[in-house]
């Protein structure tokens, strides 16, 4: 069974990670290693930077040139990320 998430770019992977923090402590950083599995699946895994809980996320590379919106991040979440980034830029 393949429960990996369909993505088209690395940027989409990291955006998804930022939008889906640790369920225990809320930390978004956990990646310690990237494993390239069979069938084009990339698995990011490692201990949570906040609480040490082991986390894994699997992503399936989609064919390049496939159009349309992201299948794992909706428009509202993209807006949220953009809003966070712009606030961070203004705060310095
Ligand atoms: Zn955590």
Structural domains of the chain, count:
1
Domain boundaries, position 38: 5-91
Q: Which of 46, 55, 58, 72 is nearest to 4 (CA)?
A: 58
Report yes or no on whether pTM surpasses 0.75.
yes
Query: If the chain, 92 residues long, is cut into consecutive pieces of 10 residues, what is the mean pLDDT of each piece?
Result: 82 92 95 88 95 95 73 90 80 46
Centre of ligand 1 from the C-alpha of residue 89, in Å: 26
Distance of alpha carbon 44 from alpha carbon 86, whole angstroms: 27
Centre of ligand 1 from the C-alpha of residue 65, in Å: 36
Centre of ligand 1 from the C-alpha of residue 25, in Å: 4
């Amino acid at each position: 069974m393949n429960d990996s998430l369909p993505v088209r770019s690395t940027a989409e992977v990291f955006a998804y990670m930022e939008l889906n923090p640790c369920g225990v402590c809320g930390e978004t950083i956990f990646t310690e290693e990237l494993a390239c599995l069979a069938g084009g699946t990339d698995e990011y895994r490692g201990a949570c930077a906040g609480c040490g809980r082991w986390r894994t996320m699997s992503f399936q590379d989609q064919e390049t040139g496939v159009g349309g919106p992201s299948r794992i991040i909706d428009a509202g979440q993209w807006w949220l990320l953009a809003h966070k980034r712009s606030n961070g830029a203004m705060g310095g």
